[in-house]
Structure 1
Amino acid sequence: MSTESAHEDPAAEVTEPRPIVVRLGQIVVGNTLMGAAVGMLVAAGMGLLPLDVFHRAVGDRCGWTIGGAIIAVQSTLLVLNLALPVKPGIGTVSAVVIPAVVADLTLAVLPTPQVVWLRVMAMLLGGAMFAAGTALYLAAGLGALPRDGLMGAIAHRTDWSPARIRIGADVLCLLAGVLMINPAVAVANGSIGAGSVLLAIALGPSIASLVPLFTHRPHWNTRVRRET
């Protein structure tokens, strides 16, 4: 194939990593979306993700907001990362603070929807925002979430698959959160609900499909040159 045909063929697309400024922007925007999504899901009262069930349970037991509980839990996981050791990045540290602050701010300004269809819309929008925010964060490649870093370290030291470890972590967080606040209370306050099942099924594939969109920037007009 000639260099001209390679230049004209869309299949010969060349990709380059995004600049560091763009990746830092992805971290900020992604974490902000994740925090706002958590606030919306709490306000919707139709079910949370397993880790957020645990966050909320810790907050209820300690008298903290969910943001305060996120900082406490994620900081503990970050310390465990360092002890293993797992090298954190700027994205790891930002994930401890930004989603927590934004979640509390969202709950402070967002009225609790009373009508069922508004609650459903809040749950669906929150799930979509969480998927987009997580994909932006992961695509930046500037450090894993504290939980993901810990799971990666466990996978490295055992024969368990990452999927098996993630399922185990989700089950553990869910059971611990429900037991801390009583199953009946978890259902009554909206920590556990139909949304929990939907989020558990849909978020993984959604995030996986979105990450490639935020990872590279295409350059369609890059000419391949050879020196002869």
Structure 2
Amino acid sequence: MRQFPGPRRLAQLYAGLVLYGLSMALLVRSGLGVMPWDVLHQGLARQLGWSLGVVTIVVGALVLLAWVPLRERPGLGTVSNVVVIGLALDAALAVLPEPGSPLVRVALVPAGILLNAVATAAYIGVHLGPGPRDGLMTGLVRRTGRSVRLVRTSIEVAVVAAGWLLGGTLGVATVLYALAIGPLVHALLPRLSVRPPAPAVPSSR
């Protein structure tokens, strides 16, 4: 029987997802580029006239549907990822003003990348299911037998190219994020990993 997550894991999961949305908003406000998937989200938002958060939720839900033929199994963290990040992103964009100073714009880039690394390690570290985009990657790796590096790079190049053609912002922050996020999450994940408690062993008495 699957155990219900404890309060520590739930709190860390939702704190991580909210901070993830905030980190996305910081990069959007920088005007110097966004995360690879957000290039696609921005392009679609500009074409459809929807908010960036709503597009993020819809794309996440569509990606989750792609898990079905890949036979991936979502968890609580997966479904929460689809909804919470988009809501947090729109809420953050509603309160974060457009920075007037070029120096502030530049400062938002490392702040957004570092915060995203913390947020990613926080929600992955509770082991309640990957995000829909990460699950798509791991499902394709398993089904195709290709390397994680090749599959992830192929997906992100495709979404960045499509997003850029639709009007998304591709800039220096996009490149810095792609280079920095892996090493940062790798360093932070052991510090934020919370394993579920081991199931109780029934007594033989």
| TM-score, length-scaled by structure 2 | 0.89
Deviations 1:96-155 (A, max 9, x none): 011101111111111110111111112221111111000001111100110111111111
Asked whether the equivalents of residues 89 and 142 of structure 1 are also in contact (C-alpha less than 8 Å), the reply is yes
Aligned to 2:202: none
Q: What amino acid sits opposite 2:174 in the alignment?
A: S
Given the alignment of the two structures, is residue 208 of structure 1 paired with residue 183 of structure 2, yes or no?
no
1:1-228 equivalence runs, <5 A:
20-181=6-167, 186=168, 191-216=169-194
Q: What amino acid sits opposite 2:68 in the alignment?
A: L
Q: How far 1:84 sits from its partner (Å)?
A: 2.5
Deviations 1:157-210 (A, max 9, x none): 1120111111111101100101122xxxx4xxxx12111111111111001110
Pairwise CA RMSD of aligned residues? 1.3
Q: How far 1:83 sits from its partner (Å)?
A: 3.7
Q: How far 1:216 sits from its partner (Å)?
A: 4.4
Structure 1 Cα separation of the partners of residues 175 and 69 of structure 2: 34
Asked whether the equivalents of residues 121 and 193 of structure 2 are also in contact (C-alpha less than 8 Å), the reply is no
Gaps of 5+ in 1: 1-18, 218-228
Deviations 1:66-103 (A, max 9, x none): 10110110000111113432110000001001110111
Q: What amino acid sits opposite 1:28 in the alignment?
A: Y
Structure 2 Cα separation of the partners of residues 85 and 62 of structure 1: 31
Q: Any idea what SS the aligned residue of 1:140 has? A: coil
Aligned to 2:199: none
Structure 1 Cα separation of the partners of residues 55 and 19 of structure 2: 18
Structure 1 Cα separation of the partners of residues 158 and 8 of structure 2: 35
Q: Any idea what SS the aligned residue of 1:126 has? A: helix
Gaps of 5+ in 2: 196-205
Q: Any idea what SS the aligned residue of 1:125 has? A: helix
Aligned residues: 191
Structure (1 or 2) with the larger CA radius of gyration: 1
Structure 2 Cα separation of the partners of residues 216 and 110 of structure 1: 31
Q: What amino acid sits opposite 1:160 in the alignment?
A: R
Structure 2 Cα separation of the partners of residues 57 and 195 of structure 1: 16
Structure 2 Cα separation of the partners of residues 111 and 83 of structure 1: 42
